[in-house]
Structure 1
Amino acid sequence: MIFNKKGNNPLLAAGFLFKGLHWLSKPELRAYILIPVLINLALYSTVLVLGYYYVNELIARFIPDWLQWLDWLLWPLFFIGFFIAGFFTFTLLANLIAAPFYGKLALKTQALLNGDTADIIEPPLMQMLNAELKRTAYFITRALPLLVLSVIPGLNLLAPFVWGLFGAWGMALEYFAYPLENQGVLFEEQKQLAKSVRLGALSFGGVAAFGSSLPFVNIIVAPAAVIGATMYVHELNKVAD
C-alpha cells in the first residue's frame, strides 16, 4: 500500500476529525459508537471520582489549617493535571478496552464510504487485542525517556513541546491503525505509511490529542477519530490511485 503525498495536507487531515464528529450522528454507526462512549464515560468518571477523593484526603492530611486558603489553587491544578494525565494514560487504556469495537466502527465506516450496505465481516478478536497491545508497548517505551527528559533541569524546558509532538504522533498511529489493520496492514508498515504523510498525520493526531485533553469532549473524540482516520485513509488511497 502507498499513500500519495498529495494527501499530506495539515488542513485536509485535521478536517477529517471534524467530519468524524459529524458522522457520529449517523444511524448506521450508532450501534458501533454506543459501547465505546460508555466505556470512556465509565473510565473517566471512575478515575475522576477516585482522584477527587484521594486528592481531598492528601490536602486534608498534609496542608496545615493556616494554608487551607490554597485550596482554590490546588483544585484547579488537580483538574488540569487529571486531564493532561488522562490524555497520556486513560486514553490508551480506554482504547485498549474498546479496540474490538473501534475495529468494527472502522469497518462499518469503510463500508459506508464504499456504498456497501451488506453486513460487515469482523476481524478476529485476538488479532485486534494483540495489535492494540503492540501499539501500547510502542508508546510506553518511548514515553519513558520523555519522562526522564521532563525532570532534567534545563532540558525540561523542551519537554512540553516534545510531549506535544509525541502525543500527536501517537494519536495518529493509534487511529490510523484501525482502518489499516482491516486491510491487512501490520504495525511496522502502518508506521511507514504514516511517516510518508507526516505533516498530515501530525495534524490529525494533534487535533485528536487536544480533544482528548478536554473534559466531556474526550468521551466522544475517540470514536470520532476512528471514523475520521478511516475517511482520511480512504482519501489517501483514492489519491494514490
Structure 2
Amino acid sequence: MTQIFSGPAAFAAGFRLIILPGMKRFVFVPLVSNVVILTGFIWLTINLISGWLDGFIGSLPDWLSFLSWLIWPLALISMLGFVLYGFNATASLIAAPFNGLLAEKVESHLRGGQVSFPDETISEMALRSLQRELQKQWFFLKRVLLLLLISFIPVVNLISPFLWFLFSIWMLSLQYLDYPMDNHQIGFHDMQKRLKSNWWHTVSFGLTHYLLMFVPFINLILMPVAVAGATWLWVDQVSTSADDT
C-alpha cells in the first residue's frame, strides 16, 4: 500500500470495524462524548471567531485595513488549531479508558485472537489509560502555549497558522496511534520515535483526520472510527516495521 494513502485506508477500515458484532458496546461512550463535546466546541468556535476577528480587524489603523483579507484566513486557521486542541483534550480525557479498550478489542479481532496484552484488570487498564492521557495532554499543552506565544509576536505570527496546522496533524496522529501502542506498554518517548520513523503514515493519518473533522455528521462519529483506524494502521503497518505483535 502506498504510504501516503495509509491514512484514508485506515479510516475506511475504522468505519468498517466499529459496526462489527461485539464492537458497538465499546463505541457507545466515545461516540456520545464526541457528539456532546464537539457540538459545544462548534458553538464556541463560531462565537469566538466571529467576535474576536471582528474586533481585531476593526482595531487596525486605516492604512493597514487592506490586510483584512489576509488576516482573516490566517487568524481562522490559528483559532481552529487552538479549538481543536481544546476539543481533543476534553474528549480524550473523558473517553481514554474506553478508547484503550476499543483499541484492544479491534487489535484482537484483526489478529484473530493471536495477540497478548499485559495481564491487568479493567480498572487497572482504565487507570493506566488515564495516566497516559494526562501525559499526552501535558506534552500537547506545552506546545500549545508556545504556539500561542508565537501567535502574538508581530511578523513572526504570520507563520503561526502553518505551525498550528502542522501541530494539529501531529497531535491527531499521536493521540490515536498511541492507544494500540499503550496497550502493549510501549513507552511514550518510544512511541514518538516509532511515529517519526513511520512519518508518512503519521502525516497521512493526521491529515485525513483533520479534514474529516470538517465533514458534517461524519465528524460526530470520528473518535471511535479514529481509534479503530489507528489500531488497523498499527497492526497492518506500524507494528510490522518493528516486529511487534
Q: TM class, shorter-chain normalised?
A: 0.7 to 0.9
Corresponding residue of 1:146: 147
Corresponding residue of 1:206: 207
Corresponding residue of 1:88: 85
Which letter does structure 1 place at the counterpart of 2:24?
A: R
Normalised by the length of structure 1, the TM-score is 0.77
Tell me how many residue pairs correspond in the alignment: 214
- 1:119-142 Cα offsets, whole Å, 9 max, x none, are x97452211111000000000101
Which letter does structure 2 place at the counterpart of 1:24?
A: I
Corresponding residue of 2:227: 226
CA distance in 2, matches of 1:215, 1:80: 18
Which letter does structure 2 place at the counterpart of 1:112?
A: H
* Structure 1 position 159, deviation (Å): 1.5
Corresponding residue of 1:43: 37
Q: Kindly indicate whether residue 17 of structure 2 is the aligned counterpart of residue 12 of structure 1.
A: no
Q: Is 178-187 or 202-211 further displaced after alignment?
A: 202-211
Normalised by the length of structure 2, the TM-score is 0.76
- The 5 A counterparts of 1:164-175 are 164-175=165-176
Equivalent position to 1:26, from 10, 20, 28: 20
Q: 1:32 and 1:84, CA in 2 relative to 1: closer, same or farther beyond 3 A?
A: same
Corresponding residue of 1:104: 101
CA distance in 2, matches of 1:87, 1:148: 17
Which letter does structure 1 place at the counterpart of 2:228?
A: I
Whether the 8 Å CA contact 2:45–2:83 is kept in 1: the answer is: no
* Structure 1 position 21, deviation (Å): 2.0
- 1:29-84 Cα offsets, whole Å, 9 max, x none, are 111111111111122334556778x77xx89xx9xxxxxxxxxxxxxx9x999865
Q: Helix, strand or coil for the counterpart of 1:184?
A: coil
* Structure 1 position 11, deviation (Å): 1.3
Q: Helix, strand or coil for the counterpart of 1:158?
A: helix
Q: 1:213 and 1:148, CA in 2 relative to 1: closer, same or farther beyond 3 A?
A: farther
Corresponding residue of 1:186: 187
Whether the 8 Å CA contact 1:83–1:213 is kept in 2: the answer is: no
